[in-house]
Each structure stands twice: as structure tokens, then as C-alpha cells.
Amino acid sequence: MDKASSGWINGFIGIVIFAGSLPATRAAVIDFDPTFLTCARATIAALLGLTLLLAFRQRRPDFEDVPSLALVALGVVVGFPLLSALALQYVSSTHSIVFVGLLPLCTAIFGVLRGGERPQPAFWLFSMLGSGLVVGYAMLGEVEISLQGDLLMLAAIVVCGLGYAEGARLSRKIGGWQIISWALVLSLPVMLPIALLTMPTSFDDVKAPAWFGFAYVSLFSMLIGFVFWYRGLAQGGIVAVGQLQLLQPFLGLGLATLFLHETVNGMMLFVTFGAVVCVAGAKRFAS
């Protein structure tokens, strides 16, 4: 199998795993404080990542790589988990999932700025059309829209795109699973104390769905998904493979409907489908 095909396969596996992140977070924040959830999931994933790094005797990153690792940690370890968890206190997971339609554009922009990739001009046309559908839906869509929740989700998407692109760029040198593991370890001295300080005095009222969501975002969303995702971006290109993120809303909407019994209306499906069509066009001009 050639490198590009392997990149698409790894990227798709990563997206399938990430599709469950927002529904799982929504389930978890019903019984867990968003700050505790963010720090606890990062702490658990960091301890697992540290175990892997020690078990496979991975050498420490070079000093000049530390700022990039800090950006990865800021984007995908702290920024997106915290901002999306806060947003999900105001909006449903089905509503927040549509914002994932902006991720390919954000990732592509940072792929150009940080990764040095140069897609064709037509790529930006399709990407902007897809993003316009998503933003238009957020501003004019359903009645239950929360401006605060939407702004938090937009901020989450921006920092996530930065973390994706920066991690993919650095994974060409260090390796996919090593990147997220080192980023998690770098954040551990901050995340662990905050997790302990914000930990509930009792877990008696935490129901099974919240525990499941907590376990999913700690193991799959925070660590395992990135093993495949960063490898896919590094192999197939940040701009090109990043377009797979437009499949995530479809998968996420299905999971939210199945497990959280949330309503998926026609407008959500129309916007998500339209965004996918636009990004399919963007993929054609990604390189």
C-alpha cells in the first residue's frame, strides 16, 4: 500500500473515533464539571501516554520541538476539550457537531501557515462555501441557538485546527503517537493538580452514561484517536487528509441520535450534506 492510501485509511479511522467525542462529552458534562472533565481526561491519557513512552523507550523531543508540543497541547489537550465541554452546557451535541464542518478549513489554513502546504486556489473556494453553510446555520438556524455556546464552539474549532496542523507537522519528525503522548505529558503538571482541585466530593450521583462518556473521551478521544489521525495527516498531507473531517458530522449526528436520543432536524442534515459536498470538491484541488 502506498503512503497516501495509508494516510487516508489512518485518517478515516481517526475520524471514526473522534465522531463519538462530542456526544460522549455531552453525556459526561451532565454529571461532571467541564473543568474537571477536561483535566481528568487529559491526566488519564497522559499517564497512559507516559507508560507507552517509557515502555518503548522513546527519546525525549529536542528542545526546539517543545514550543510546537505546547501548541499541540494548547489546541487538542486543553483548548478543544475545555471549550467544547463549556459549549455543550448551552447547546446540544447535534448542534455542536455541525461546527465540525469548519475544522477542515481551519486545519487547512494552519497547514499552510505552519506546514508549508500549498493547495490550488479552487480549494479555498470550496472550503469557504462549506464553511459559509456551517456559519449560516449557526446564525440563522434553530430557535434554541445560544450565542455563548456557538462562540465557544467556534473558538474550540480554531484551536483544534491549530493543534491538528502543528501535530501533523511535527509527527513527520517524531511520530504520530509520540506527538500526542509528549503533548499530554507536557500538560500533566498543570492538568493533574486542577483535576484534583475540581474533583467532586462524591461520585454517588454520577450515572452510567456520564461514566461511559468520561471513559470514551479519556481513552479514545484523547489518545487512541490521535495515534491514527496524526499518522494519517503526516502520510497523506494536512490539507488533503484533513478534509475527512467533514465525515465526522454525519457519524456524530448518528451517534447522538442513537445514544442521546437527540433530534436531528432537516436543516442540520441539509447543512451537513452541503458542507460535505463542498469539501469533496475541495479535496480535488487539495494539492
- 148-159: pLDDT as tens digits: 888 999 999 999
Average pLDDT over residues 207-232: 95
pLDDT at 144 over 80: no
Percent of the chain, pLDDT > 90? 51
Which of 168, 282, 174, 138 shows the shortest CA–CA distance to 228?
168
pTM, two decimal places: 0.87
pLDDT of residue 8: 87
C-alpha 57: how far from chain center: 28
Percent of the chain, pLDDT > 70? 97
Q: Cα separation of 37 and 33, whole Å? A: 6
The domain total for the chain is 1
pLDDT at 192 over 70: yes
Q: What b/e string do you get for 33-42 counting C-beta neighbours within 10 Å, with b at 16 or more?
A: bbebbbbbbb
pLDDT at 208 over 50: yes
Average pLDDT over residues 167-185: 91
Angle at which helices 225-236 and 147-174 pack, to 10 degrees?
A: 70
Lowest mean pLDDT across 39-43, 100-104, 124-128, 210-214 = 100-104
- Provide the pLDDT confidence category of residue 205 given band limits of 50, 70 and 90: very high
pLDDT of residue 198: 96
Q: Which is more confidently placed, 13 or 280?
A: 13
Q: Cα separation of 50 and 33, whole Å? A: 25
How does the average pLDDT of the chain come out, rounded? 88
Average pLDDT over residues 92-97: 77
pLDDT of residue 141: 52
- Provide the pLDDT confidence category of residue 92 given band limits of 50, 70 and 90: confident
pLDDT of residue 196: 96
Q: Which is more confidently placed, 141 or 228?
A: 228
Taken in order 183, 31, 29, 22, the sign of the CA dihedral is positive
pLDDT of residue 137: 73
pLDDT of residue 143: 47
pLDDT of residue 277: 84
Average pLDDT over residues 30-45: 96
Contact 158, 166 (CB under 8 A): no
| Cα distances (angstroms) measured from residue 140 to each of 137, 146, 195, 272 | 5, 11, 37, 15
Domain that holds residue 181: 3-285
